[in-house]
Amino acid sequence: MSFLNTLIPNRTRTNLTQEGENGAGVPTVRPVYEIKENADRFDLVARLPGVAKDGLEITAENGQLRILGRRAWKQPEGWTLLFRESLDSAFELVLEHENSFDAEKIQAELRDGVLRMTLPKAEALKPRKIAVS
């Protein structure tokens, strides 16, 4: 079974809100992402504009890859806000993967609002040549 067929958003986590600093609900959204596959690994790229490294949490356990985060705008010191169209928001992306990759070897990098993850395939999924006797 291919990783893309088993890697699906957890559909039970839609329209969630998190408590904001002022007590108001912060909308939870799912980030835009894509997954590519080659013989050795899967590459996940998610667009997370406005997310800082300290606002991001990634876990892999129990057949799920979970990416949690929060976009938070901070007013620069010495500036007065006149208008702001963007909103603070939280996000949660839960992908089910049936242990398709080696969780111990995952690499993640967040740069310029783009999260890039390398998910090495589990040995059982890698192509093998079978010797004929």
86: CB partners within 8 A, 6+ apart? 50, 71, 73
Write the pLDDT tens digit of every residue in 25-63.
555 667 889 999 888 899 999 999 888 899 899 999 888
Residue 42 has which token pair? 């899967």
Burial class (CB in 10 A: 0-12, 13-18, 19+), 82: exposed
Write the pLDDT tens digit of every residue in 60-112.
988 888 898 888 777 889 998 888 776 777 888 888 887 788 888 999 999 99
80: CB partners within 8 A, 6+ apart? none
CATH architecture of the domain 3-123 equals Sandwich (2.60)
Query: Strand pairing of 89-96 and 25-29?
Result: parallel
Query: Are 115 and 46 a contacting pair, CB within 8 Å?
Result: yes
Domain map of the chain by residue range?
A: 3-123
Residue with tokens 């080659």: 38
Q: Has residue 17 got a pLDDT over 70?
A: no
19 or 92, higher pLDDT: 92
